[in-house]
Every structure is written in C-alpha cells, then in structure tokens.
Amino acid sequence: MPRMLTRVLALAMILLTTTASAAELRFKVGTLAPDGTPWMDNLYGFLHDIEAKSPTPVKFVTYPGGVMGDEPDLVRKLKFNQLQVIAVTVAGLAQLVPETLVLSLPFLFNSHEEIDYVVEKMTPVFEQKAKERGFELIGLGDNGWINIYSKNRFNTLDELRQQKVWMWNGNPLELMFFEALGINGHPVGVPEVLIGLQTGLLDTIMTSSTGVVALQWNTELRYQHQLQLRYEPGGVIASKRAWDKIPAAQRAAYDKVVDDMVEKWFVPFKKKNRDDERMMTEMMAKNGVEFVEWSPAEIDKLRTEAHKVWDRATKELFAPEILTMVQQHLKEFRASHGSH
C-alpha cells in the first residue's frame, strides 16, 4: 500500500508539473488604434501568429480604441503591470524610450528611404535603451508624415499662431515644437479631439492623413497643408517583467518567433501604411478638403523656427550623441544617393 501510494503521488506530481509547464501565459495589450483600422488589423495578425507559433502557450487579450485610456494611461498601466504590451505612437514611445524622439525632430528627413535607412541603423540602440529601463521594444512601426489639417484657411506662420491648435500633451517633443513656433496649443486627449472639433474648442490638427481619417476627424476639417513637418514612428513595447515569464528554455525560440513576425507583419505594413497615407490624402481631396499652398518663404520661416527644437531636445529629452549618430547615418545615406 505505501508503494502504491508513492506511485500515485509521483504520478500526480508529474501531471501537475506538466500542467504547470504548459500553462498559458496571458498578456493584456492596450492601444488607441480603433477596431477596423489598418493599424488594428495588422496588430491582430501579428499577435495571432505569435500565439500560433510560440513554443510555449501564450494568449494576447487586446483592448483597442482607447478603452484603456489615452497613451499616458497605457504607459502607466504597462509600468504597473495592468497591461503587459502596448502599441503606441511617438507619444507613448517618448515616455518609455525617449531616444526614439530623435526620429520625430521637425524637418529631419526628406524621404521614406532616409527614414528606413536610419531606423534600421538605430533600432539596436533603441532596443538596448528600452532593456535598460525594464522594457522590450518589440518593433517600430510607421505612423507617417505629420501635416496640418484645419477648419480655417491660412498659409503663414503668423496665421497658424491665431488658430486653436490641438496639442497632444503626452508628447514632450510636440510641446517644444509648439513653443518654438509660438503656438498656444490646446491639450486634449485623443478620444476627445473629435468633440473638440465639433464644439469649436479646436480648429487645427497636426497629424497624419491616415490618423485624420481613421479617427473621423476629417468630417470636421476643410483644409490640408502638406508640409511634412516631421515623421512620426510608432511601436509595440512589452514589459520586460512580463516577457521574462517565458520559460528560460524556450525564450530564445520565442524571441525568434517574435522577430520573424515583426519581419512578416511590420515591414510590409510600412509600405501599406504609406500607400494608405497617399490614398487618404487623395480621398479627402475628392471629398472637398482643399489643399493649401504655403510660399517657399513661409516654409523657410517655419523650418527655421522649428529647428530650435533640435538643440533643446538634446539637452532635455535624449543625449546629444543620439542625434549625432542619426546625422551621421543621414550623411552616409545622402552621400551614397547624391541627395542633400
């Protein structure tokens, strides 16, 4: 009887150990991206493929459309383990990996090709900075060129200063940008912007064409100013504490799956997002949103004022050597492509 009991207990321990090792890890994912948008469709595909191919059972529970709050809320919940993964714009990245803000300096890039070259070179630096702060930078995305969209017609910096311009208070670089241009921004969370446009609290937005349409802000706007003020990255970030729950024996294989899915979903999505950006711009024009031209002199004035952000950012947001690295990569690219 004691021998039988021992065997039963041993079998029970084996079963319990097997069940524990096969226990599903659940990760909560928060984002502002609304359901039905290209951003959300891509994120669903990315997460679903990780679930299907992971060497250890994982399940991602998604909370889209800002149901977990604005990006500062998502960041806070990631830090307190209420969320384990977040998909964010540069505003969220700024609070977790501020070095990524270098990519969003005004008038830094001239083309998507320059962006892609610099991002590839700088990604290992950003990943290391994230790890040092307790996060995993899973992948960088592309939120497009930031332009001006407005209810009122204007085409000078002085006139821009008279508008009720939305400012995303989660983005410190945007605050610097507004201060450099002399704009009195109106800080409103993303979920409240449409109401702000409808009620007259806001009349001017700085964002991408895809963002304008996806969030239905285009229904309240009449003019688009295609100035390519700055490029805006996005990213998916996980809590390192949560990611480290992947069993050590399977971590390398799991990381390989994640890297493969970044390549499968993020890389082609950049091209798709850029195609969508052009399509959304054309769609708005067909629906009556008018394009506003700025004179070369006014654009130069805007550029000169905006460049003040560069020096300030290297003093307050990230180390000067981060910008130096980016400028060196840009110099290499432009020299090899005969551009300036």
Q: What pLDDT digit, counting tens, does each position of 305-335 carry? A: 999 999 999 999 999 999 999 999 999 999 9
Mean pLDDT computed over 69-87: 95
| Distance separating alpha carbons of residues 300 and 1, to the nearest angstrom | 91
Residue 208 has pLDDT above 80, yes or no: yes
Strands 85-89 and 58-63: unpaired
CATH number of the domain to which 228 belongs = 3.40.190.170
Torsion of CA 273, 274, 277, 281, to 10 degrees: -160
Query: Minimal CA–CA distance to 173: which of 92, 71, 116, 270?
Result: 92
Name the least confident of 5-9, 50-54, 188-192, 278-282. Answer: 5-9
User: Domain total for the chain?
Assistant: 1
Which has more confidence, 23 or 149?
149
Residue 59 counted as domain residue: yes
The full length of the chain comes to 340
Highest mean pLDDT among 16-25, 39-48, 266-275: 39-48
Domain coverage including residue 157? 25-337
Neighbours of 236 (CB within 10 A): 23
How does DSSP classify residue 165?
B
Give the pLDDT of residue 190: 85
In-domain check, residue 186? yes
Q: Which residue has the higher pLDDT, 189 or 56?
A: 56
In a domain, 10, yes or no: no
Among the listed residues 190, 85, 72, the one whose alpha carbon sits nearest the alpha carbon of residue 136? 85
Is the pLDDT at 58 greater than 80? The verdict is yes
What value does the mean pLDDT take over residues 108-121? 96
pLDDT at res. 98: 95
- Identify whether 255 is part of a domain: yes
Q: Report yes or no: 149 and 223 within 8 Å, Cβ to Cβ.
A: yes
pLDDT above 60 for 11: no
More confident residue, 210 or 56: 56
Supply the pLDDT for residue 22: 56
Distance CA 309, CA 195 (A): 30
Whether residue 20 is predicted with pLDDT greater than 50 in this model: the reply is no
The answer, yes or no, to whether residue 6 has pLDDT greater than 70, is: no
Give the Cα separation of 232 and 143 in Å (integer).
5
276 lies in some domain: yes
Can you give the pLDDT at residue 13? 46
Does position 18 have pLDDT exceeding 70, yes or no? no
Mean pLDDT over all residues of the chain? 91
pLDDT surpasses 70 at 86: yes
pLDDT at 5 over 80: no
In-domain check, residue 4: no
